[in-house]
Amino acid sequence: MRHSPAKESTQDVSAGIRWTKLIRGTLVRRYKRFLAEIRLRDGRIITAHCPNSGSMRGCLEPGGKVFLSRSENPRRRYPYTWELIETPGSLVCVNTLIANRLVSKAITSRSVRSLSEYHLLRSEVQCSENSRLDLLLEASGGELCFVEIKSCTLVEDGVAYFPDAVTTRGRRHLIELQRQVTLGRRAVIFFLIQRADARVFRPADHIDPAYGAELRCAAQNLVEIQAYDVRLTPQEIELNSEIPWEL
């Protein structure tokens, strides 16, 4: 199964997210999943929060050039947050929390044409006793659309892959989206590729074949798949173009 959208870039800069000022550094190592040691330009090694629960395959090369934000909140144990890394193919946003913010902003600013009919947006919606989905959209006529957003940072030979580690939680989201379709709602799985060097999206069968199988099942059961890349600089990240996907 393949989907090849007409090539179209979003142009509304209001749909982007700007960083106030990012600090340059060099990656020493990531450890304990949510922490990373970064060498700053003055030689100091600091511990930064790593807001990414995946394997970060392809984004962990020691010596890689990274960009950090710094919080002024005195209660934070680790004021630095790892935001970006330079890879041979592209600058990459490794902060998975950015994905939901960026997609939500793009939808509300009507930058995603296929979702432009919706005027109300709610986040983190409880769908069942043990399941939440990222967004619930509502059109003026009362039509509902559930959207689950996935941050994708793994690109190999021009192919963007999700997931980069086995994810039973991700499979549960696909199952819930299919359930919403049976209830008469629209359901979308939205893959945000947080880099600019992908020509096509595919499920990572070589990493989590069960997720790939469930994604194919979801597509057959009328869950819509959308994949977008980004325009990315150390100053701003914006939604860019819808890219083809293959199952």
**Per residue in 217-239, pLDDT tens?**
999 999 999 999 999 999 999 99
Domains observed in the chain: 2-15+96-246 (3.40.1350.60), 19-93 (2.40.50.580)
In terms of Cβ atoms closer than 10 Å to its own Cβ (0-12, 13-18, 19+), residue 67 is buried
Buried b (16+ CB within 10 A) or exposed e, 150-167: bbbbbbeeeebbbbbeeb
Residue 218 has what DSSP assignment? H
Structure-token pair, residue 208? 């989590």
pLDDT value for 14: 53
Question: What does the pLDDT average to over 104-114?
Answer: 93
Residue 33 DSSP SS3: coil
The per-residue pLDDT for 6 is 57
Query: What number is the average pLDDT over the span 42-56?
Result: 97
**What was the pLDDT predicted at 13?**
41
Mean pLDDT of 22-35: 96
- Please give the Cα distance from 180 to 151 (Å, whole number): 22
More confident residue, 190 or 119: 190
pLDDT at 131: 86
pLDDT at 12: 42
Give the residue among 184, 242, 189 at the shortest CA–CA distance from 218: 189
pTM, rounded to two decimals: 0.93
pLDDT at residue 20, as a whole number: 86
Cα→Cα distances 50→204, 210, 231, Å? 23, 27, 22
Q: Is the pLDDT of residue 11 over 50?
A: no
User: Is residue 8 over pLDDT 80?
Assistant: no
Q: Which amino acid is residue 198, in one-letter code?
A: A
Report the pLDDT value the prediction gives residue 5, as an integer from 0 to 100.
Answer: 80
Q: Render pLDDT for 138-181 as a digit per residue (tens, 0 to 9).
A: 999 999 999 999 999 999 999 999 999 999 999 999 999 999 99
Residue 95: pLDDT above 70? yes
Percent of the chain, pLDDT > 70? 96
| Residue 15 φ/ψ region, left for φ over 0, alpha for ψ in the -120 to 50 degree band, beta for the rest | alpha
Cα 174 versus chain centre, distance:
16
Q: What would the mean pLDDT of 91-110 be, rounded to a whole number?
A: 95
Quick one: DSSP state of residue 9? Answer: B
Total residues belonging to the chain: 247
Number of Cβ within 10 Å of residue 94's Cβ equals 25
Q: Amino acid identity, residue 200?
A: V
Beta pairing class for 45-49 and 65-70? unpaired
Sign of CA dihedral 49, 50, 52, 55: negative
Mean pLDDT of 203-223: 98
For the chain, what is the mean pLDDT? 94
One-letter identity of residue 162: F
pLDDT at 9 over 70: no
Task: With cut-offs at 50, 70 and 90, classify the pLDDT of residue 22.
Answer: very high
**Helix (H) or strand (E) run with residue 115 in it:** none
Residue 98: band (very low, low, confident or very high) from pLDDT cuts 50, 70, 90: very high
